[in-house]
Chains A and B, each alone.
Chain A
Amino acid sequence: MTYAKRFDGRKFDEIRPMEAKVGIIKRATGSAMFKMGNTIAIAAVYGPRDVFPSFLQNPSRGLLRCHYDMMSFSVTERKRPGPTRRSNEISRVTESALFPVVDLSKFGNTGFDIYVNILQADAGTRTAGINAAALALADAGAPMKDLVCSVAVGKVGDKICVDLTKEEEDYKDGATDLPIAVLPRSGKITLLQMDGNMTQKEIKEALEMGKKAVQSIKKLQVKALKDKYKGAGK
């Protein structure tokens, strides 16, 4: 069966409408909201600060820890509050997606804690979370070599697509979800997961499509960071 036209009318290589805002949580060192279609992620960064438990302290480099969670009402059927196996895994891969860009060498014995929470979910929550977390880290003033841009690519029916919705993930003839994070400058991939069924050739094609698509995420992230300081110093 061919998936001729996307449910929401987007082009196959087009990301959903996005919004981003930096500095949304006053108490946090850095914070951001990132919206992709109907998925809304919020991220806060606290740090550099002392690391507890103290045996985790590393005198030669700072620690980067991520805690991903979803609000109970962010999904159609209420999610029981608190961490799950799924959320723990996402925390772990989010950490790995962000780690390569943060220079932690000057932050011995301390650490940055990143909290990601999903307010509204329509697939791609980890990718929206990573986009928000990268912004929050930048907002916190963490020294970064690059931003991190994340989007899901994959296959719906017979078509390679970017940024799948929940409806597409549940496509009756099968769908493959392949969330990635890309460092926009170097093009390096720092998150890679997949569920579904694709050939090696299709995966290569999807990754190339994703790498192109994230440039629009980067653009929005840069704009959101600049917007926070609009009018400052005047």
Chain B
Amino acid sequence: MSKSYVETLADKDARTDGRKFDELRKPIKIELGVSNKAEGSAKVTWGETEVFVGVKMAIGEPYPDSPEDGVLITGAELSPMADPEFLSGPPGPEAIELARVVDRGIRESKMLDTKKLCVRKGELVWIVFVDIYPLNNDGNLIDAASLAATAALKSAVFPKLNGDKIVYGDFTKTKIPLNLMPVTCTVVNIGGKSMVDPILEEEKNFDARISVSVSEKGDIHAMQKGGNVGLEIDQVDEMIGLAVKKSAEIRKVLK
């Protein structure tokens, strides 16, 4: 099999857009309050990748095995608007993986204080919907969507409650209770070289990908490997190390 262009470049320690292997794209920026009907919303511009995330709150029954915990539901809609290769219709494997990786970053870092999202034990809890809508896909939707989700949740407030019903369109000033702030950093392996923040062309030609969700304490809370090539333990270790290091840089944008 012939080598891809990105792999040929990787052999020469280079990337198509001239970045270093450990260099994130610029700019990475967050715009808050982009949709005024959402309890929280953010648009992340990550190089040429752009993603909207909105938080909506609802109220409902808790799961029987966690009667005191609020519920987090994360979804992603990969509209053909953002990328001609996305297909219309119900979420496919790529959308589901994106949503689940973002979800696990939030869930496993215990970002949401779910106990404080309980209205009445065993009966009524808050349901937090996090919905991801890419606007333009130039690769690394996982990191961009994860950052947008964290930012949207950080800005989200409760809607007003009248008895057991939400007064829609009426927001309180109370923020959703949060603990840690997860940030996800994806490292890809191309021809044995590890590099962060793949653009679309690199994403199509990587051997392996590892996405790592890191809290501000530096703890790792969720990981996901992608790609059809196996990795040595040392490679995995190197990729995680790079992800943890760069996640601190991404985190600065959250401030």
Contact = CB atoms under 8 A, between A and B. Distances in A.
Interface of A: 24-28, 38, 40, 42, 44, 46, 49, 67, 69, 71-78, 81-82, 113, 115, 117, 119-122
Most chain A beta-carbon neighbours within 10 Å: one of B35, B88, B136:
B35
B136 A26 contact: yes
Contact of B35 (A26, A28, A81, A119): A119
B54 interface: yes
Contacts of A71: 35, 52, 54, 77, 131, 133
Contacts of A24: 135
Interface in B32-53: 34-39, 41, 48, 50, 52
Nearest to A72: B131
Contacts of A113: 80
B84 A27 contact: yes
A74 B84 contact: no
Contact of A117 (B36, B37, B41, B133): B133
Contacts of B77: 69, 71-72, 81-82
Given A67-B88, A72-B131, A73-B56, A115 B80 contact: yes
A28 B81 contact: yes
A77 B165 CA distance: 12
Contact of B34 (A26, A38, A119): A119
Contacts, number: 90
- Would you call the interface of chain B mostly helix, strand, loop, or mixed? loop
Interface residues of B, number: 35
A173 to B, nearest CB: 21
Given A26-B48, A81-B75, 20 more contacts: A26-B136, A27-B82, A42-B135, A46-B84, A71-B52, A72-B129, A73-B37, A73-B55, A73-B131, A74-B54, A76-B169, A78-B129, A78-B131, A81-B77, A81-B91, A81-B131, A117-B79, A117-B81, A119-B52, A122-B37
Given A72-B54, A121-B37, A67 B136 contact: no
A95 to B, nearest CB: 15
Contacts of B133: 71, 117
B83 interface: yes
A72 B88 contact: no
